[in-house]
Amino acid sequence: LPAQRQLAQQFGVNRSTIVTALNDLQADGVLISAHGNGTRVASNTWSLALDWHHYLDGQFNANLPTIQTINRLENENYLRLSTGELAPELFPQKLVQAKLRAITPQVTQLNYLEPLGALNLRQALVKRLQHWQIDVQPENILITSGSLQALELISVALLKPGATIYTEAATYLNSLQVFQSAAATLTGIPQDDAGLCYWQLPASTTTQQLLYTIPSFQNPTGSVMTQQRRHDLLQFAEKHQLPIIEDTAYQDLWLETPPPLPLKALDRAGNVLYLGTISKVLAPGLRLGWIVGPTAVIRRLSDVKMQTDYGASSLAQQLLAALLADSAYDDYLTELRQQLRQRRDAALASLKDYLADVATWQVPRGGFYIWLKLKPTINMEQLFQAALKRHILFNPGSIYGADHALRLSFAYASPAAFRRGIAELAELIKRA
């Protein structure tokens, strides 16, 4: 930091310019940084150095600079007000350790698995899906390396360039990057109190089209689509032959009563590809998700998955199969909901104490997020930068195309840290 400040002063530029320049030089291999060893000039012969810049703009989009900053700083000592992950202290360490020990004798080999993923895991998921009134067979399920990969597989295996993807107007950011990188055209559809305003979807087009929705405890708004809206949306989709990706990442994390049945449970015509993940309820590091759909689609997706990564980690799959088969996992979920409810209520109390006069919000009934709508017009990017200076990270609404909003998460920061962060944010907002 002192060196960066000194350089910034010396060149008469912002410190962030210096940080960007240093990152670029590192990416080019000119500078080498090692933890605890500082940064030094690489010993390459400069005149021979390959100019990788001709290769740095391949087909996949670069991330939004704000997200790159957040990703980079999350593991430094920043107060994380928006992180979409469970706090480490919520992780069921003992349960996971016990299951790891229990599966050890079975893990005598770690070969590639069958194309759809471990059968015992798919069987465990079949049972769990029945709780949501989804009646499928193991061959309707493909295990993926997280549900983000599910979106990637769908994009490259089912869609042709130029396909149109409809999403909620503010939605999960990485999904947009994946869709766009597959050359899809994106269109945001507004939501009202009952959920996605499906009647704003065009009735038919000649190109491929698909709807991506997060009906329960949406990211980033926390909203829930009502049961009636789910029925109506499905009817519309059936009538207009519209495929739907239903992302259920937060579905199990209700804090009061369970959300309405998933679209997949109501899906008679096979329009819905249902995505699940273990990332939000347990551990994103396991990198496990699943797609549920018609067998022809699942086979196509699994064929592409085999060609691109040969399956998700077999060890992680065995661990999850063992966890899902044990009722101790359900006890953990019950306890987790209890913990999240307390964190949500503490977060709401902090908002009421510090932000009631400058912002409005809905009480989320599940998931991780509170979507804060600011009353005054504030430059979100400037607010983000001002918060960074105080070592506070949050997701500004501008990255979701919503200039007067920001996403908060009560799942990661402790209630005390969250309160501290909100007090500081309130000060910055009032000053701005």
The residues that touch ligand PMP, with contacts defined as CB under 6 A, are 84, 146-148, 172, 214, 219, 247, 249, 277, 279, 284, 289
- Of 358, 336, 360, 337, which is closest to residue 348 (Cα–Cα)? 360
Q: Nearest distance from residue 120's CB to ligand PMP, in Å? A: 20
Q: For residue 258, what is the enclosing H or E element? A: none
The token duo for 122 is 């798919």
Query: DSSP labels for 338-393?
Result: HHHHHHHHHHHHHHHHHHTTTEE-PPPSBSSEEEEEESS---HHHHHHHHHHTTEE
Q: Where are the beta strands (DSSP E) in 204-250?
A: 209-213, 244-247
The Cα–Cα gap between 271 and 204 comes to: 15
Q: Nearest distance from residue 410's CB to ligand PMP, in Å? A: 15
Q: Closest CB to ligand PMP among 247 and 267?
A: 247
Please, where are the H alpha helices in 243-326? 263-266, 295-308, 314-324
Q: Nearest distance from residue 124's CB to ligand PMP, in Å? A: 17
Q: Closest CB to ligand PMP among 269 and 315?
A: 315
The token duo for 23 is 């990152």
Q: Closest CB to ligand PMP among 145 and 209?
A: 145
Distance of CA 366 to the CA centre of its chain: 15
Q: Closest CB to ligand PMP among 66 and 279?
A: 279
Q: Please give, one letter per residue, the 3-state secondary structure of 115-159.
A: CCCCHHHHHHHHHHHHHCCCCCCHHHEEEECCHHHHHHHHHHHHC
Q: Closest CB to ligand PMP among 222 and 289?
A: 289
- In the chain, the largest separation of any two C-alpha atoms, in whole Å, equals 67
CA torsion 243-249-254-257 (nearest 10°) is 20
Q: Closest CB to ligand PMP among 69 and 279?
A: 279
Q: Nearest distance from residue 146's CB to ligand PMP, in Å? A: 3
CA distances from 298 to 117, 302, 340 (A): 11, 6, 34
Q: Closest CB to ligand PMP among 146 and 243?
A: 146
- Of 287, 332, 323, which is closest to residue 117 (Cα–Cα)? 287
Q: Nearest distance from residue 335's CB to ligand PMP, in Å? A: 22
356 φ/ψ angles, rounded to the nearest 5 degrees: -55, -35
Q: Nearest distance from residue 188's CB to ligand PMP, in Å? A: 15
The helix/strand count (H/E) of the chain reads as 14, 17
Q: Nearest distance from residue 148's CB to ligand PMP, in Å? A: 3
Q: Are strands 164-168 and 185-189 parallel, antiparallel or unpaired?
A: parallel
Q: Nearest distance from residue 404's CB to ligand PMP, in Å? A: 22
Q: Closest CB to ligand PMP among 164 and 171?
A: 171
Q: Closest CB to ligand PMP among 271 and 277?
A: 277
Q: Nearest distance from residue 368's CB to ligand PMP, in Å? A: 8
CA distances from 401 to 153, 171, 416 (A): 26, 10, 30
